[in-house]
Amino acid sequence: MGCCCDDDEQLLQPLNPSEIQNSDQIPPSASSTTVVHGGEAVISPMNSHFSALICHDTLRAILEKLALPDLARAACVSRIWNFVASDRELQTKAFKDPWKIKDVIGDPSSGSFWRDNSLSKFAISHRIVRGDSVASLAVKYSVHVMGIKRLNNMMSDHGIYSRDRLLIPISNPDCLINGTCYIELDIYAKREVAVLYLDGGPDPKLTTMLNRLTSERSKKRVIDSLRRSMQVDGETAQYYFAVSDGDPRSAFSQFSEDLKWEREAGLT
């Protein structure tokens, strides 16, 4: 890689303090914290300032070998670790590799989506046709009836008739192999899932509606944040958000200027 080490496997081996102190490349002061592991002291990457661990290429070579939950934890170590660990390509690879997924399409509304890639994060999209019932779908996909109801927030079987599709929990992970999943916020499940379409791709009309809902959800979140920061009502926060063309920093700046003017004019 032409960075800190030439051998990728060498990057993952425990570092011995005596070897570092004898090295001409890294001064002894580069490591400040050691832990005991297997009877001898070694440097812990999570508790040291070892210079190799702030090199982008080296850090990426290490982090790309981590499972997704560990990658999410690594993002909390420092700013540079967060920068590398939050790389979309790295997150996508860690998300799909355990299940041998071909591709993941779409952008989640929250970065927390990338913290977990357990099987419950995936679902099959089933378009409702005449004659379908929750029980028949449970038999078809080899899942429990309650699993379908729980995933789709259904209180009874009658809820199926008011929907265009149902999300089906995945019982056999083999169906994900070489598949393409779409990150979607389902309006009934009220959660983001990686959806697998067994009969092609998503319906363009449904995708447009889901994108609009995702955008509205993100906008509402920003307005709520502005409302708390400004300590005003929702309508005031929405007004400043609108006049700033959706820029929350500009909205807060404009609000501060107006508030300052009112105080100087003796209006408050």
| Tokens linked to 93 | 């690879």
> Which domains does the chain carry?
54-96 (no CATH), 203-267 (1.10.8)
Residue 188 reports pLDDT greater than 50: yes
Q: Cα separation of 136 and 172, whole Å? A: 18
The enclosing H or E element of 246 equals: none
How confident is residue 176, by pLDDT bands cut at 50, 70 and 90? Answer: very high
Question: Half-sphere exposure of residue 186, counting CA atoms within 13 Å on the CB side?
Answer: 25
- Reported as a single tens digit per residue, the pLDDT across 83-138 is 999 999 999 999 999 999 999 999 888 888 999 999 999 999 999 999 999 999 99
Contact call for residues 73 and 23 (beta carbons, < 8 A): no
Percent of the chain residues past pLDDT 90, beyond the cut:
40
Q: Cα separation of 14 and 245, whole Å? A: 51
- Reported as a single tens digit per residue, the pLDDT across 61-85 is 999 999 999 999 999 988 889 999 9
Q: Cα separation of 264 and 268, whole Å? A: 9
pLDDT at 21: 45
Q: Cα separation of 140 and 237, whole Å? A: 49
